[in-house]
Amino acid sequence: MSRIFADYMARARNILESNWTGSSTKPAPSLYPHQWNWDSGFIAIGRSHYDTARPIQEIETLFEAQWSNGMLPQIVFNPKELGHYFPEPDFWQTERCPYAPSGKLTSGITMPPVQAIAVEKIYQNASRPRAVRPFLERIYPRLLELHAYLYRERDPHQEGLVYIRHPWESGIDNSPTWDVPLKKIAIDKESLPKYTRRDLEHGVDPTVRPSDDEYDRYVFLVDLFRRVDYDEFRIRESCPFLVQDPLFNSILCRANESLVRIAEIIGEPPEAPHSWAKKTAEAIQRKLWHEEHGMFDAHDLVAEKLIEVHTAAGFLPLYAGAVKPKQADRLYDRLNSASFCALHQGNCFTIPNYDTQMEGFDRSNYWRGPIWINITWMLTHGLRRYGYTVKADSLQKDLLQLPIRFGFHEYFDSLDGTGYGSEDFSWTAALFIDLVHEFYESEKPRGTFARRIKALLTGDTILNDGREMPDINPDRLAAELMYSIRRLRDKFYDTHRGMVDYEGLKDSPEFQGYRILANGLREFRPSCLMGRKAKLAFWTNLYNTIVVDAVVMLGVKESVKEVPEFFRKVKYAIGPHLFSADDIEHGILRGNVRPWFYPFRLFGPRDPRRAMILTPVDPRIHFALVCGSRSCAPIDYYDEERIYDELGAAAKSFVNSSEVLVLPEEGKVLLSEIFRWYERDFGGKGGVLDFIFDYLVDEKERRFIRENSANLRFEYLHYDWNLNR
Ligand code: 9WN
């Protein structure tokens, strides 16, 4: 792990440590002094990477306050900390409800049900998962009761979508979406219970918190609930705020999936959560989708219509896998528009909680425009689920940068990253820990498959030694081969996502056609390639395709690392010579400079392949050569005529992805290993910096590099060798 991550991981752990109360974790040191429902879920996820006992205790403490009808309260109050928050138990008066637990102080509403997701994570991350089974057995019925409560009490049409009845239940309290139903509540100051806000007593700037008008409505709703003794039927009859929210329902849907897996682990029948997940996913797709806007909206159950306000919550069905492929593509376009800070647009962080193009967008006010780590974190998972890896990487870059550069705040300015709300915010720390663990810390151990392959692979694998030769004039071979590679790109490479559909490609006529043409390379003379651009395109495309060919033919499952010396052993016979993937990369495209992992140059003094060496080296090839792994550049096809522009675009995309993190506050730049391995191709450290400067789009980052070039330190990110499938 990079040193800087280690330092910040330690800070994140300290925050969780100091917010620990003895049985659960406060969301923040003073602003939120009790236990909050969904915060505890996120906190348990982060902590589970290094501790199992506390995350279990965190969840169990919360469930000790579960209502007897199954509802899991939004807040469990700490009796020792009363007097600093509003509203507290005296205002909620939950004792009026027969379902409220005795001996526990709680609020009378719930929150997005992330708990099952957290429980599954605790199990997965435990060093001894078997020891966690008793906890799973204890907590599973409680989780099931919670979900059953939501489907029984909050889904009046029995359609798989549950409603929230208070903005605090959404977790995204003053989201502009709620303006529409809240506006209909006319406040009569005389009859509204008297109250005093306490949230502004903690040194937080009032302009970044909800307004007094919003608080009046929050209070109005709580008063309504307590007046009917929290009887759901009566609430439903009179409550002006009943909303089916895509965020809440997506989390519920995703949590059902975790419940299914937990049920399977402990040998319980998984049918109920399974059918809930299916029903909710279908209902989200059908009822919450706005075809014209290409976005998911909340549905106002009182007005019986969609609330046409677009916030980050509208992307969260991706997290639940509740999105049809066409809807996913529309969401992706929306996410890549100026509305939500397009990829590499360079002037804001992703993702602002509200469409930046809307009049009411506010970069600093709470849920009306800033960035919240938990939302982006869920979206990152959703994007990966649908294969949008490049975008997920870019979001991850923002997620890591924000706490490192601006502190572990509650939320962040979407334009300049300034931290707002509370400092030392627990879920920011916890999800930072999760992210570093998931994506930057360690390589997954390779299993028995690797050993099997090793035994099989004793020598070189010549991939183009098939009998069938192409029926074309050898002069046309290069052109035909390039057409064929382009067809593979069009059909099986997802250039947005940087992924290859190896399964689809394997038995396709296009791949069979390519392999026959590759056999023809045995009679091909590379000397017939004329001009630097033609050579660059030919060898780059051939490198990328020999890797794909080898992944398929050697049956690579998880990573090219399964095959010892993959890049040295897989070869094409071209004319009278053999070329490994390494020969193409280091021998030809890198001008035969010695690779960083090898004692000699690949083509010795008398090697006839030296005639094919391409100099000078164009360092941009490193963002076009794809080694079949997730940390490589996304795969594409390079056209002879446009290759210089295309290499420029590839470099720009890479430099602005999560493979380059500029951290001005630390005086550091975190870089992909590619910049270390191939430093000399860029002209040494200084050359690397010039290169990054040239391609970086963010003005502030550019300025920082310009002004600090002499003292900048480099650190390198973990390289992810998992297959780009
Ligand atoms: C009301 C604790 C909670 C979060 C919410 C966030 C904020 C509370 C408040 O703080 O809400 O629940 O007083 O503003 O909006 O998501 O769970 O961190």
Residue 496: is its pLDDT beyond 90? no
Label residue 1 by pLDDT band (50, 70, 90). low
List the residue whose alpha carbon is closest to atom 1 of ligand 1: 168
- 245-292 residue pLDDT tens: 999 999 999 999 999 999 999 999 999 999 999 999 999 999 999 999
Which long-range contacts does 75-80 make (Cβ < 8 Å, 24+ apart)? 75/34, 75/35, 75/36, 75/37, 75/106, 75/107, 76/24, 76/34, 76/35, 76/104, 76/105, 76/106, 77/34, 77/35, 77/105, 77/106, 77/107, 78/21, 78/26, 78/33, 78/34, 78/35, 79/105
For ligand 1, the distance from its centroid to the CA atom of residue 171, given in whole angstroms, is 6
> Half-sphere exposure of 367 toward its Cβ, with a 13 Å CA cutoff?
21
Q: Among residues 378, 379, 341, which one has the least CA distance to residue 363?
A: 341
- Residue entry with tokens 């890049």: 567
Measure 395 CA to ligand 1 centroid, in angstroms. 23
Ligand 1 neighbourhood includes 171 CB (under 6 angstroms): yes
pLDDT, residue 456, reads: 47
Mean pLDDT of 306-327: 97
Average pLDDT over residues 347-367: 93
Of the candidates 35, 55, 54, 25, the residue with the CA atom closest to the CA atom of residue 117: 55
The alpha-helical segments, DSSP class H, found in 288-372 are 325-335
Q: What is the pLDDT of residue 711?
A: 87
Q: Which span out of 233-242, 623-632, 637-646 was modeled with the highest average pLDDT?
A: 233-242
Sort strands 243-244 and 295-296 into parallel, antiparallel or unpaired. Answer: unpaired
**Which of 25, 39, 78, 168 to mutate for ligand 1's pocket (most ligand atoms within 8 Å of CB)?**
168
- For residue 457, the model assigns a pLDDT of 47
Q: Rounded mean pLDDT of 22-45?
A: 98
Ligand 1 atom showing the smallest separation from residue 168 Cα:
12
Looking at ligand 1, which atom is closest to the CA of residue 367?
15
Nearest CA residue ID for atom 6, ligand 1: 171
Q: What burial class does residue 611 get, using C-beta atoms within 10 Å of its C-beta: 0-12 exposed, 13-18 middle, 19+ buried?
A: exposed
Averaged pLDDT for residues 523-548: 94
Ligand 1 centroid to Cα of residue 27, in Å, is: 9
So what's the pLDDT on residue 609?
A: 95
pLDDT score, position 470 = 93
- Of 155-159, 225-229, 498-502, the range with the lowest mean pLDDT is 498-502
Please report the beta strands in 354-470, taking only residues with DSSP state E, as ranges in sequence order.
Answer: 411-412, 419-420, 461-462
Nearest C-alpha neighbor of 569 from the set 553, 581, 554, 559 = 581
pLDDT at 707 over 80: yes
More confident call, 631 vs 220: 220
What's the rounded Cα separation, in Å, for the pair 545 and 74?
53
Kindly give the number of the ligand 1 atom that is closest to the alpha carbon of 173.
Answer: 15
Active site residue 173: yes
pLDDT tier for residue 598 given thresholds of 50, 70 and 90: confident
Q: 458 pLDDT band (50/70/90 cuts)? A: very low
Tokens read off for 354? 């509200």
Model pLDDT, residue 55: 98
pLDDT of the residue at 451:
37
Mind listing the pLDDT tens digit for each residue in 162-171? 999 999 999 9
Among 120, 145, 393, 410, which one carries the catalytic annotation? 410
Can you give the pLDDT at residue 93?
A: 98
Among the listed residues 236, 240, 216, 217, the one whose alpha carbon sits nearest the alpha carbon of residue 228: 236
**Across residues 580-592, what is the average pLDDT?**
96
Active site residue 698: no
User: Which pairing describes strands 461-462 and 493-494: parallel, antiparallel, or unpaired?
Assistant: unpaired
Q: Is the CB of 168 under 6 A from ligand 1?
A: yes
- The H or E element that residue 574 is part of is strand 570-574
Q: Which of 558, 547, 559, 545 is nearest to 513 (CA)?
A: 545
Q: Which residues of 707-723 are buried (b: 16+ CB within 10 A; e: fewer)?
A: eeeeebeebebbbbbeb
DSSP state of 440: I
Averaged pLDDT of the chain: 92
Residues 6+ apart with CB under 8 A from 608: 577
Q: Of 165, 196, 169, 194, which is closest to residue 182 (Cα–Cα)? A: 165
Q: Residue 363 above 60 pLDDT?
A: yes
Collapse the DSSP code of 412 into the 3-class scheme (helix H, G, I; strand E, B; otherwise coil) and give the result.
Answer: strand
Average pLDDT over every residue of 475-496: 91
563 φ/ψ sector (left φ>0, alpha ψ -120 to 50, else beta): beta
d(CA 473, CA 654): 39
**pLDDT for res 473:** 83
**Ligand 1 within 6 A of 160 CB?**
no
- Choice between 443 and 580, residue whose per-residue pLDDT is larger: 580
DSSP characters for 456-517? H--S-EETT--S----S-GGGHHHHHHHHHHHHHHHHEETTTTEE-HHHHHT-HHHHHHHHH
pLDDT of residue 332: 93
Ligand 1 atom nearest the C-alpha of 74 is 12
Say whether 670 sits in a helix, a strand or coil: strand
pLDDT at 440: 65
- Reply yes or no on whether the pLDDT at 15 is more than 50: yes
Residue 588 confidence class, pLDDT cut points 50, 70, 90: very high
Q: Using CA of residue 617, residue 620, residue 624, residue 626, what is the dihedral sign? A: positive
pLDDT of residue 559: 87
How many whole angstroms from 75 Cα to the centroid of ligand 1?
Answer: 9
Alpha-carbon 492 to chain mean position: 23
Residues 621, 540 contacting (CB under 8 angstroms): yes
pLDDT band at 344 (very low <50, low <70, confident <90, very high): low
- The answer on pLDDT for 443 being more than 60 is no
Question: Coil, strand or helix: which one is 75?
Answer: strand
Q: Is the pLDDT of residue 441 over 70?
A: no
Return the minimum-mean-pLDDT range out of 199-208, 339-348, 407-416: 339-348
Ligand 1 touching residue 646 (CB < 6 A): no
Q: What is the pLDDT of residue 445?
A: 40
Is the CB–ligand 1 distance for residue 410 below 6 Å?
no
Closest Cα to atom 16 of ligand 1: 171
Residue closest by Cα to atom 8 of ligand 1: 168
C-alpha to C-alpha distance for 721 and 285, rounded to whole angstroms? 34
CA-based radius of gyration for the chain: 28
* From 58, 88, 153, 173, active-site residue: 173
Report the half-sphere exposure of 254 (CA within 13 A, side-chain side): 27
- Those residues whose C-beta lies under 8 Å from the C-beta of residue 17, and which sit 6 or more positions away, are none
